């Protein structure tokens, strides 16, 4: 082999060696950067707000009993009229008042209950329902319900079917504000974590919004609703 060929081979070998070293450094640096890029922290942000309900459903349920079916229907008609008049006189619109079908029981036709003869053969349950957006008005009228008892109407106030229901329908209106607050609080937690770990908080890697929950604020104020949502956010971390 000539001296010129040896020199060329040496130079080529030197370039290859240098190239492999540079490539190795670049690959190593890329792996380190990739691993740093994959570092992340997952945090949760909570948003809770209180809003008044905007619909009230108030069932007024009563019971009547008699041995005469005709007299029973007369009592139902009388009581339903008294309740409707009572509500309208206190400002509740007729369009907000509805009457359900009457549930009548013939106790003599029942095949259970022993041989005891009931005091009244027929009994009936009737419900007059108020569906209104004027919650303050309806709640005020609720406090005057004893006036119906004084007129001889037997109200089923402890029946679960007569429970008052308050509904919140403006969820879509408050969603953006609550999601923004939950996300902001999640970032505050992530920034604190990054600071404590001597890291830099990066962009969002992934995020998910939890379900909105709506519940009464407490037992005594069911017309005030507590809305709650939790957002889960994962952020990138770097040194």
pLDDT digits 0-9 by tens, 10-50: 555 554 555 545 444 443 343 334 344 568 889 999 999 99
Q: How many CB atoms lie within 10 A of CB 131?
A: 16
**Residues 63, 72: contact at Cβ < 8 Å?**
no
Element (H, E) at 71: helix 69-89
Q: Give the per-residue pLDDT at 157.
A: 76
Q: Give the per-residue pLDDT at 161.
A: 75
pLDDT digits 0-9 by tens, 138-197: 999 999 999 998 998 989 877 777 899 999 999 999 999 999 999 999 999 999 999 998
Strand duo 122-132 + 154-155: pairing: unpaired
pLDDT digits 0-9 by tens, 107-134: 876 656 556 677 888 999 999 999 999 9
Q: Residues 115, 118, 121, 122: is their CA dihedral positive or negative? A: negative
- Tell me the C-alpha distance between 206 and 236, whole Å: 9
Mean of the pLDDT values across residues 79-101? 96
- Tell me the C-alpha distance between 168 and 166, whole Å: 7
- Tell me the C-alpha distance between 180 and 32, whole Å: 34
Element (H, E) at 195: helix 171-196
Q: How many CB atoms lie within 10 A of CB 185?
A: 18
Q: Give the per-residue pLDDT at 7.
A: 56
69's tokens: 């079916």
Q: How many CB atoms lie within 10 A of CB 56?
A: 23
């Amino acid at each position: 082999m000539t001296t010129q060929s040896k020199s060329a081979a040496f130079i080529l070998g030197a370039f290859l060696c240098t190239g492999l070293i540079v490539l190795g450094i670049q690959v190593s640096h890329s792996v380190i950067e990739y691993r740093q890029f994959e570092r992340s922290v997952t945090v949760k942000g909570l948003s809770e707000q209180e809003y008044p309900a905007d619909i009230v459903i108030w069932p007024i349920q009563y019971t009547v009993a008699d041995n005469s079916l005709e007299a029973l229907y007369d009592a139902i008609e009388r009581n339903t009229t008294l309740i409707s008049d009572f509500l309208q006189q206190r400002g509740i619109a007729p369009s907000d008042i509805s009457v359900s079908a009457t549930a009548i029981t013939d106790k003599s036709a029942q095949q259970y209950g022993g041989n005891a003869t009931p005091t009244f053969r027929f009994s009936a349950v009737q419900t007059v329902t108020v569906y209104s957006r004027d919650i303050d008005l309806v709640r005020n009228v609720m406090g005057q319900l004893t006036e119906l008892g004084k007129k001889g109407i037997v109200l089923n106030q402890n029946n679960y079917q007569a429970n008052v229901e308050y509904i919140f329908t403006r969820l879509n209106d408050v969603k953006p504000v609550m999601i923004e607050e939950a996300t902001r609080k999640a970032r505050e937690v992530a920034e604190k974590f990054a600071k404590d770990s001597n890291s830099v908080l990066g962009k969002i890697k992934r995020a998910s919004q939890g379900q909105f929950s709506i519940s009464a604020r407490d037992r005594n104020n069911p017309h005030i609703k507590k809305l709650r949502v939790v957002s889960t956010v994962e952020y990138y971390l770097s040194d």
